[in-house]
Structure 1
Amino acid sequence: MSTAADTTGPAAANRSYRDVLSRNRRMAGLLLGDLLANAGTGMLIVAMPVQTLAVHGTVDAALAIGMVEAAPFLLSTVLALVISLGRFSAPPRRLLLADCALRAVAFTGLGVLAMAGRLTLPLLVGGLLLGSICRMAGSSSRRLLATSMVDDADRFAVNGLLGLGSNFALLVFGPVAGGLLVTWAGAGWTLFADACGALILLASVLRCVPRAPAVRAEGEAGPKRESGWRILRRRPVAGRLLVVVFFFNFLYMPIEVALPLYVRETLHTGASGLGLLWTALGVGALVGAGLVDRLRRLPQRPLLIAVIALWGLCPITLAGVGNQTAAMVVFGLGGLIWAPFTPVAYSFLQSGLGPGEQQPVVTLWTTGSTVAAPLGLLAGGPLIALTGIHTSLVLSGLLTLLLAPLAAWGVLNG
């Protein structure tokens, strides 16, 4: 598979963040809505483990956190696989609007239950399952809609801007605001905040995204629609990179289960300490996402492999520190290293696809990489219960380091 960033010549055509934002106000409006929606979701990164620990009852704490963190991915994975592997299709704009509406209704209901003191672990898991049915399809739709509103030379910058906004909202502003809100008012209020963010994104899509965007499912324009799997089979490098991305995300997810327990038992802090740790990761990721604009002329495949190898050192180092400041430094450096991975990977993928191939392939890629999250979360609970917090962090890092040479073999050969 060829990509615009494989050689220095074509990569130089990629425009900068500033150029793209100044020439397309509608796309900038969509990115702003996405940023505000992600800010609400970022609050849940801190709030949901705290809420889970308050309602887990007789269920083991690590297992309960894993269940709650995995719930939003389960039903959404089924819908995304139907879209990407079958002949069913829906316009990305409609999918994103449905995701926003469902999320707003479900999270408002969970917030009301939490405020009334009637929220239980089964209700929390059930609400997250139902409210996130369109989550994965909506996530790929955000990227499809944004990149459909620009030309090929702007795609790298748009993918980078999506990463920049999400890193700021999910990992910097969101966790800080979530930690403060949990401390001052309770975890239930963050559910209302996420519902408000979903409504803001809904309004942004209605206002900024045309009803008939440039990227459509092929089935809308003709009698047949090729599945994402068949398309990827013609592009073996992209298929192998999907496998790498899957395991990269899978091996990361036990860290999310371990982190609330690590903060409580090793750092001896609560929601505010967890929020600060996520903020450190977010600040590093924000800087890294900003630097993506400077990386647009570099070969993308070696860059992806370097990110995998360097990130593997992060959880290993984190397991060896025992105070808040040192943990924040390690996590901040980890965010700096990790940030370029997603925008570079998606730019690499999309550069070799035709307009009719974008939705099935990007949805399949998003599904394949994201489905690693619930699997990793579900595996993280038992892993931590069996090996302990620090050992599980070391194992996550070591296995990620072993992934790097496999990634080099699979991605560079082709």
Structure 2
Amino acid sequence: MAMSIRAALARTAGKSPYWPVITHPLLRRVLPGLGVSALGGGMTTVAVSWLALELAPADTRGAWLAATITAHILPGALGGVLFGRFLNGRSGPQLAGWDALLRTAVFAAIPLASALGGLSIGLYIALLGIGSLLTAWGKAGRYTMLAELLPAQHHLAGNSLVNVMLELSTVFGPLLAATVIAHSGPEHVMAIIAVTSASLAATYRFAIPSEAGGQGVKAGASPAAGFRAIYRNRHIVILFALSFGFFFFYGPVTVAIPLYVVDVLHASAATLAGFYTAFGAGAVLGALVAGHLQKWPLIPTTIGIVLGFGLGLIPLGLGVPTVVAWAAFALCGVIWGPFPTVTTTLFQRLAAPEILPRLLAARGSVMGVSVPLGAMLGAPAVHLFGARGTLLVSALGITALGVFAALFLLGRPAPARTPDDLTTTGV
């Protein structure tokens, strides 16, 4: 009886799109490190903002919070452009490992500076900026590694599985961060994040043999190679424009939600964690579903995600009770969940292996600019509309973006199908 049950479970698992990824001889060594590091990343959603609120002067918290969020993201966009010539010939695991190592050093420096009594808001922002310099290349390296190690038919499932772990971390990471903050302060959360990043750096260094890394970034390619690859393909141009607008309109939300919790609800870090945990729980579900979308047309799916996210965000701007707001944000998470998987799979399908790291780094640079730009507008938007009004404006902006993208797609004549046409791959 027991053997038949095990056999049935094995057959069921074998039919899952995730099974070839989980059982891959190299990826199964990397996945635990990715999971541990993802937990640390989930903790940053609360800890980075909360430490900034503690360090900043009370009368200018909005401006300092926007600057903190910008510093945590924007330098990664610059690094994606500036460091290309130094990263030629590097494999996906190398790129991702160096990003993890830099984050380890920076997040360890923050609690050390705090313990020595020298952590100011200015130094804190500077350290966050240094720590994000390789973010675009780290993300590019992660998904390049998947493309290097997995056959094309398993790319969607591989991307989805990694994104499930990333989204799952936003369920438990904020709660763990809020617990640590309540007992010992946000600077101690930074020390935990440093440990998780160190585990990921060690994983990339020792779990994957150097010869398994693939071609990496094409040696001698110009720093603008990734952007030229974007410009030459209209599908990528559409995807970039849609993604940029999506993240831009979401940028003010990253400022408005912490201020809404503190200034409107007069609540604690636990309430803020509730928002991010609700979102993360929904995103896990959405990311799990993404692995089963192999036959879906991916660009229309992306547009639908943007439109649905905007509609789901509207209740947060209407002043609904906190529990209802959590539920609405959880729905946003469900809708968002497939977005990283779908868009990354599109790039993996569109790019030649030797240019993929540059293309993904270029994407990271562009996306890394959009959120800080939106975040920089967050402080004046909160001043003009209040935290709740800013949430509503952002929701309406994302919704309008989805509507315009859908009208643009529907208004274009269907392209002629050829053997090389991207529409034959479900784009």
TM-score by length of 1: 0.90
Matched, 1:78 2:71: no
Q: 1:411 and 1:219 mapped to 2: Cα distance?
A: 37
Q: Which residue of 1 aligns with 2:172?
A: 173
Q: Is the 8 A contact 1:217 1:225 kept in 2?
A: no
Matches within 5 A, 1:289-368: 289-368=287-366
Look up the SS of the partner of 1:274 in the other structure: helix
Q: Displacement, 1:101?
A: 1.8
Look up the SS of the partner of 1:95 in the other structure: helix
Q: Which residue of 1 aligns with 2:56?
A: 56
Higher relative contact order (CA 8 A, sep 6+): 1
Question: For the structure 1 residues 87 and 204, does the alpha-carbon distance in structure 2 shift closer, same or farther, using more than 3 Å as the test?
Answer: closer
Question: For the structure 1 residues 226 and 46, does the alpha-carbon distance in structure 2 shift closer, same or farther, using more than 3 Å as the test?
Answer: closer
Q: 1:399 and 1:226 mapped to 2: Cα distance?
A: 31
Runs of 4+ in structure 1 off by over 4 angstroms are: 223-226, 409-414
Matched, 1:110 2:107: no
Q: Which residue of 1 aligns with 2:26?
A: 26
Q: Displacement, 1:248?
A: 0.4
The more displaced of 310-319 and 283-292 is 310-319
Question: For the structure 1 residues 315 and 224, does the alpha-carbon distance in structure 2 shift closer, same or farther, using more than 3 Å as the test?
Answer: closer
Q: Is the 8 A contact 2:147 2:348 kept in 1?
A: no
The more displaced of 208-217 and 279-288 is 208-217
Q: Which residue of 1 aligns with 2:237?
A: 239
Q: Which residue of 1 aligns with 2:405?
A: 407
Q: Displacement, 1:190?
A: 0.7
Q: Is the 8 A contact 2:77 2:364 kept in 1?
A: no
Matches within 5 A, 1:98-247: 98-169=98-169, 171-212=170-211, 213-219=213-219, 227-247=225-245
Q: Which residue of 1 aligns with 2:95?
A: 95
Q: Displacement, 1:284?
A: 0.5
Q: Displacement, 1:288?
A: 0.9
> Residue type of the partner of 1:145?
M
Q: Is the 8 A contact 2:81 2:224 kept in 1?
A: no
Q: Displacement, 1:225?
A: 8.2
Q: Displacement, 1:232?
A: 2.0
Question: For the structure 1 residues 215 and 159, does the alpha-carbon distance in structure 2 shift closer, same or farther, using more than 3 Å as the test?
Answer: farther
Q: Is the 8 A contact 2:247 2:370 kept in 1?
A: yes
Q: Displacement, 1:310?
A: 0.9
Q: 1:126 and 1:313 mapped to 2: Cα distance?
A: 36
Q: Which residue of 1 aligns with 2:284?
A: 286
Q: 1:118 and 1:389 mapped to 2: Cα distance?
A: 31
Q: 1:60 and 1:195 mapped to 2: Cα distance?
A: 29
Question: For the structure 1 residues 172 and 74, does the alpha-carbon distance in structure 2 shift closer, same or farther, using more than 3 Å as the test?
Answer: same
Q: Which residue of 1 aligns with 2:42?
A: 42
The more displaced of 262-271 and 38-47 is 262-271
> Residue type of the partner of 1:323?
P
> Residue type of the partner of 1:194?
I
> Residue type of the partner of 2:337?
A
Q: Is the 8 A contact 2:286 2:334 kept in 1?
A: yes
Q: Which residue of 1 aligns with 2:383?
A: 385
Q: Displacement, 1:59?
A: 5.6
The more displaced of 310-319 and 73-82 is 73-82
Q: Is the 8 A contact 1:83 1:89 kept in 2?
A: no
Q: Which residue of 2 aligns with 1:8?
A: none
Q: Displacement, 1:290?
A: 1.0
Q: Which residue of 2 aligns with 1:270?
A: 268
Q: 1:22 and 1:360 mapped to 2: Cα distance?
A: 27
What's the CA shift string for 1:158-184, capped at 9, x where partnerless? Answer: 111121111011x11111110111111
Q: Is the 8 A contact 1:300 1:348 kept in 2?
A: yes
Q: 1:356 and 1:186 mapped to 2: Cα distance?
A: 45
Q: 2:44 and 2:360 mapped to 1: Cα distance?
A: 26
Q: 1:265 and 1:313 mapped to 2: Cα distance?
A: 25
Q: 1:342 and 1:251 mapped to 2: Cα distance?
A: 17
Look up the SS of the partner of 1:160 in the other structure: helix
- Percent sequence identity over aligned pairs: 24
Q: Is the 8 A contact 2:146 2:158 kept in 1?
A: yes
Q: Is the 8 A contact 2:17 2:292 kept in 1?
A: no
Question: For the structure 1 residues 117 and 239, does the alpha-carbon distance in structure 2 shift closer, same or farther, using more than 3 Å as the test?
Answer: same
Look up the SS of the partner of 2:292 in the other structure: helix
Look up the SS of the partner of 2:88 in the other structure: coil
Look up the SS of the partner of 1:219 in the other structure: coil
Q: Displacement, 1:209?
A: 2.4
Look up the SS of the partner of 2:265 in the other structure: coil
Question: For the structure 1 residues 361 and 268, does the alpha-carbon distance in structure 2 shift closer, same or farther, using more than 3 Å as the test?
Answer: same
Q: 2:20 and 2:155 mapped to 1: Cα distance?
A: 9
Q: Is the 8 A contact 1:145 1:209 kept in 2?
A: no
Bigger CA radius of gyration: 2
Q: Is the 8 A contact 1:237 1:410 kept in 2?
A: no
Q: Is the 8 A contact 1:240 1:411 kept in 2?
A: no
> Residue type of the partner of 1:229?
F
Q: Which residue of 1 aligns with 2:371?
A: 373
Q: Which residue of 1 aligns with 2:11?
A: none
The more displaced of 175-184 and 53-62 is 53-62
